[in-house]
Amino acid sequence: MIIFFEKDIDIEDALDKIIYISEINFSHFNFGENYKGIYISEDIDKEFILKNIDGIREMVQVNKPYKFVSREFKKEDTIVHIGNVKIGGEHFETIGGPCSFENEDGFMEIAKNLKEFGVKIVRGGAFKPRTSPYFFQGIGKDALKIMRRITLELDLKLVSEIVSTEDIEVFNEYVDIFQVGARNMQNFELLKKLGKCNKPILLKRGFSATIEEFLLSAEYIVSGGNMNVILCERGIRTFEKSTRNTLDISAVPVIKKLSHLPIIVDPSHASGRFDLVESLALASVSAGCDGIMVEVHNDPENALSDGCQSLKFKRFYNMNKKIHKIRKSLF
């Protein structure tokens, strides 16, 4: 049971009172004035609670295994703020950038071009979770430092993937959004720690995760106190071999019904092919996603990772123009 308190209730006083009157195990939450209260996992006597605790606005029974990410908990869409940039609700963003940061000049060229196309958030991997230990693993902290300098210079926001709890401090210093990759969607220790951060988290769906498991991973972050979670559908593994993964397009409207969190789509990792990225992006936009994240490279043929699914500037520009046309006509 979720119990919401009135706006003007002092949460500390209310909690003291609950501890005093009952033996109930509860945890409290505070996501701003309209969303503060307590969560009780066991069966409780509603009348008893209502009679003994002042300032209750509403009691909501959430029948899903996840609570705080559910639509029952919060009816209106969550808008994630990345400084002055917003994702969710009416706010849509196209995120672009290389799979991995490779060198300063290359990243600068990509970032400058994307900025010119109106992009506000750029991506760049520094710590790469590669399938083979013999593949390029990323440049690490030095890459983050350079990307931070360039994105500040160009007034862009930066998203990069974190793979270990040990790097949280460094990421806090250099990135605007922490990305949790598909391979770490169920790294629960990492998720719990990110729940204590106050920067936005871009959580990608694991390639064999159900939507329920995906939302439970988001719940790990949100139940820790960080509501700034952007979900990302990036394709799931199926028997189909013509694409790297299979984009689960229905995940977008399904998640919109189940959760208030924004959901974006990554058609690059979903398809593994640059020639399919635009079609999947446009389909995702039509399905109602809150953003698209694609890989863009100045020289995809020679990229150190995922060149085959990376767009050149012109293709990115054309895709982005169509995305905005579709959004204008549909929403």
The b-or-e profile of 288-327 (16+ CB within 10 A means b, else e) is: ebbbbbbbbbbebeebbbbbbbbbebebbbebbeebeeee
Per CB under 6 A, does 292 bind ligand PEP?
Answer: no
Which helix (H) or strand (E) segment holds residue 108: the answer is helix 104-116
CB 175 within 8 A of CB 148: yes
Q: Least distance (Å) from ligand PEP to the CB of residue 187?
A: 12
Per CB under 6 A, does 244 bind ligand PEP?
Answer: no
Q: What residue ranges bind Mn ion (CB under 5 A)?
A: 99, 306
Structure tokens at 249: 């397009």
Q: Which of 67, 157, 269, 297 binds ligand PEP (CB under 6 A)?
A: 269
Q: Least distance (Å) from Mn ion to the CB of residue 247?
A: 15
Residues 207-236 that bind ligand PEP (CB under 6 A): 234
Of 85, 73, 80, 150, the residue nearest 112 (C-alpha): 150
For the chain, the residue count is 331
CB 37 within 8 A of CB 29: yes
Of 286, 307, 288, 287, the residue nearest 298 (C-alpha): 307
Question: Of all residues in this chain, which one has the CB nearest to ligand PEP in the complex?
Answer: 181
Per CB under 6 A, does 204 bind ligand PEP?
Answer: yes
Q: Least distance (Å) from ligand PEP to the CB of residue 98?
A: 9
C-alpha 78/C-alpha 62 separation (Å) is 18
- 206: amino acid identity, one letter: G
Q: Which residues contact 194 (CB under 8 A, 6 or more apart)?
A: 162, 168, 178, 180, 201, 221, 224, 226
Residue 102 contact, options Mn ion, ligand PEP, none, Cβ 5-8 Å cut-off depending on partner type: none
Residue 221 contact, options Mn ion, ligand PEP, none, Cβ 5-8 Å cut-off depending on partner type: none
Q: Which is nearer to ligand PEP, 102 or 161 (CB)?
A: 161
Which range, of 56-64, 108-116, 177-185, 296-304, touches ligand PEP by CB under 6 A?
A: 177-185
Residue 256 contact, options ligand PEP, Mn ion, none, Cβ 5-8 Å cut-off depending on partner type: none
Per CB under 6 A, does 144 bind ligand PEP?
Answer: no
Q: Which residues contact 219 (CB under 8 A, 6 or more apart)?
A: 66, 67, 68, 69
Q: Angle CA(32)–CA(38)–CA(43) in degrees, nearest 5?
A: 150
Which range, of 89-97, 166-174, 178-186, 253-261, touches ligand PEP by CB under 6 A?
A: 178-186
Q: Which is nearer to ligand PEP, 202 or 261 (CB)?
A: 202
Per CB under 6 A, does 67 bind ligand PEP?
Answer: no
Binding mask 97-116 for ligand PEP (x = CB under 6 A): --x-----------------
Q: Least distance (Å) from Mn ion to the CB of residue 149?
A: 23
Q: Which of 38, 53, 110, 182 binds ligand PEP (CB under 6 A)?
A: 182
Q: Which residues contact 142 (CB under 8 A, 6 or more apart)?
A: none
Q: Least distance (Å) from ligand PEP to the CB of residue 217?
A: 13
Residue 300 contact, options Mn ion, ligand PEP, none, Cβ 5-8 Å cut-off depending on partner type: none
Residues 13-42 that bind ligand PEP (CB under 6 A): none
C-alpha 205/C-alpha 87 separation (Å) is 18
Residue 290 contact, options ligand PEP, Mn ion, none, Cβ 5-8 Å cut-off depending on partner type: none
Residues that bind ligand PEP (CB under 6 A): 99, 125, 161, 181-183, 204, 234, 266, 269
